[in-house]
Amino acid sequence: MIVKILSAAAGFNGVVYNEEKRAQGAAQLLKAENFGFLNLAAGNLKQEDYIRYMTLVANTNESVLKSQFHAIISCKGREKSAEELLEIAEKYLQRMGYHDNPYLIYFHSDTAHNHVHMVSTRVSKEGKKVNDKYENMRSQKVMQEIMMQDVEYEVKTCLTKALAYGFSSEAQFKLLLEREGVKVTEKDGQYQLIKYGSVVHAFASKEVADRIAKYKAPDARVGQVKAIFRKYKRGLTVEQFSGLLKEKFGIELVAHQAKGKSTPYGYTILDHASKQVLKGSQVMKLDELLSSVNREEKIQAGRELIAKLSTDRGLCYTGFKRQLEATGLLVNKKGEIRIKGDEEGSIPVLMLDKTHVRALLYQERLQEARQYAVTSDKDMRLLARLFFVKQSDLSVAKASDPLEKEVVAAKLHSGLASGRPLQEILDSCGWSIAQADGKHFLIDHQQKRVYAWADLTKERPAFQAVQVVELDKGSDRAREERLQDAWTQSSGTTGQLVASMLYLMESNLGPDQGENRKRKNQRKR
């Protein structure tokens, strides 16, 4: 079950949105509650009646400027019926403090997942504002309580996972569970599994003892892990090496320290890739693991990473940068590589050629484009042009999330109906507009989705008043070069990519609009 609270709004546009869906046959009003005498004529009421009543209630507290509460509860597929979702929604409103306020519950089944919309007022009939402190956090907790999260099932799942590993001692078995937040004690020949301060499950300790007695060291895998340690430890501190192992190989190092001591007396290797628990001494002595590294070792480790660029075609700039940082080296987008701690203006210890830099940045854009839900050839063409990548490097592979589309449509409808400027709506939601083949598209950079504008709303705002990425104009090659320059000045994050695309849009704006945008961005910084 998923619950999402939409942004608070000044009016009750959530009612308008759901009533429009209802008129299209895509929604069903399950319940209209606490509307006073209006409830007697429930079958003959219109959206104006509901909105008028909610507005009267909201006006009893003029200090609450955004009086609409609008949330969505969605289940997986069709596992919950309209009646079951209604029951859950009413319990949810009760625990969130809205059950005595006027509220509407609509059922939608026009997507792959059944869901309900709840619209209410944040002001009670007594003029008191409903507590919205830590609202989203409370919302998730309330939903967990309603669904009666099965802690015993959670702990048993952790136990099943732990028993799937090969381990040679009781301490190793306990360590696996402790890493999952499950404490293990032994009493009367049984292991007691404790979660949230209570004994949740118990089982015979003999089961673990028998597994330990039958344990055989995985010699082949130990040899592989030894080779990984020898190859990648050089030039790294233990912290850097530990991070690299976890990210690249699924191997976790767990240090063991005596109370009050900072230096470990030993360590354990959790090899999640092969589901084995190994003693650290089986692979590398502790002294060798903790040994410091010198400057030349770092440079040599950097050379080896650069050599990999010719064979690892899929490596992106961020991934390469992260691997270098793990060896104590820093790289900028000019290809200059320095040892961490050296001054920025100092002579680089290593240098990437421009071809490698360009390839790394291309892979960065490609990986970003691949994060978006590509559900059609149309999406694929648009993303290829938006991120300046080859269409052949993308594929239609991801299913769209109907609930996300529902949320975006509701947010957009609410924002437009409130009279807010479209650019303000886009900026606050992390959206941008692109135009391709004469049609407008909404790009959701937070949820990584692309929507045809016409699929979200019938409204046709003045697009000339906002910044639109014009994919039908200009030279793709020239714009790609400007994007390359913009990336060279950025940190390479998703947010910076969006900023880079806005930078490119300057070429499609008039000089006055472009200068206004630059001044606005400078003020934000």
pLDDT, position 241 = 87
pLDDT category of residue 154 using cuts at 50, 70 and 90 = confident
Residues 117, 12, single domain; the answer is yes
Same domain, yes or no: 506 and 380: yes
Q: What average pLDDT score do residues 58-75 get?
A: 94
Q: Pick the last residue of a domain from 213, 238, 256.
A: 213
Q: Please identify, among 112, 146, 180, the residue that sits at the C-terminal boundary of a domain.
A: 146
The domain total for the chain is 5
Length of the chain: 525
For residues 12 and 138, state if they share a domain: yes
- pLDDT value for 474: 52
Split at pLDDT 50, 70, 90, the class of 195 is confident
Q: Which of 44-53, 174-183, 188-197 has the highest mean pLDDT?
A: 174-183
As a whole number of angstroms, the distance between CA 16 and CA 295 comes to: 66
Are both 326 and 378 inside the same structural domain?
A: no
- 157 pLDDT exceeds 80? yes
Tokens of 403: 């609930």
CA separation (Å) from 522 to 229, 467, 501, 518, 519? Answer: 47, 17, 16, 6, 5
CA dist 183 → 179, 192, 196, 283, 286 (Å): 9, 8, 9, 28, 27
**Averaged over 358-368, what is the pLDDT?**
90
135/106 same-domain check:
yes
- Residue 220, pLDDT > 70, answer yes
User: What pLDDT sits at residue 345?
Assistant: 82
The residue that leads in pLDDT, 195 or 125, is: 125
Predicted pLDDT of residue 377: 86
Q: How many CA atoms lie within 13 A of 59 on its CB side?
A: 6
Average predicted confidence (pLDDT) for the chain: 85
pLDDT at position 388? 87
Find residue 74's DSSP bridge partners. Answer: 2, 115
425 and 348 assigned to the same domain: no
SS3 category, 417: helix
The 10 Å CB-count burial string (b at 16+, else e) for 146-174 is: beeeeeeebbeebbeebeebbbbeeebbb
pLDDT at 97: 96
Question: Is the model's pLDDT at 327 over the cut of 90?
Answer: no
Residue 518 sits in the same domain as residue 387: yes
Residues 104, 35 share a domain: yes
Other Cβ atoms less than 10 A from the Cβ of 475: the count is 9
Q: Answer yes or no: is pLDDT of 164 > 60.
A: yes
Q: Which residue has the higher pLDDT, 41 or 345?
A: 345
**DSSP E strand stretches across 347-465:** 350-351, 431-436, 439-444, 449-452
pTM of the model: 0.50
Domain residues for the domain of 485 are: 372-524
pLDDT tens string 245-296 = 998 899 999 999 888 887 899 999 999 999 999 999 999 999 888 876 678 8
**Residues 44, 136: one domain?**
yes
Most confident of 157-171, 189-203, 281-295: 157-171
- Give the pLDDT of residue 43: 65
Q: What is the percent of the chain with per-residue pLDDT over 90, rounded to a whole number?
A: 47
Query: Do 519 and 486 have their domain in common?
Result: yes
Confidence (pLDDT) at 401 = 67
The answer to whether residues 94 and 204 belong to one domain is no
Pairing of strands 468-470, 431-436: parallel
Residue 505 confidence (pLDDT) above 50: no
- Final residue in a domain of this structure, among 351, 367, 383: 367
CA dist list (Å): 339 to 292, 326, 327, 344, 351: 15, 11, 9, 10, 12
Report, in this order, helix, strand and coil percent for the chain, each rounded to 5: 50, 20, 35
pLDDT in tens, 8-33: 888 899 999 999 999 888 899 999 99
CA dihedral 145, 147, 149, 150 (to 10 degrees): 130
Within this chain, do residues 477 and 496 fall inside the same structural domain, yes or no?
yes
Alpha-carbon Rg for the chain in angstroms: 29
- pLDDT digit string (tens) for 100-153? 999 999 999 888 889 999 999 999 999 999 999 999 999 999 987 887 555 788
Task: For the chain, give the percent of residues with pLDDT over 70.
Answer: 87
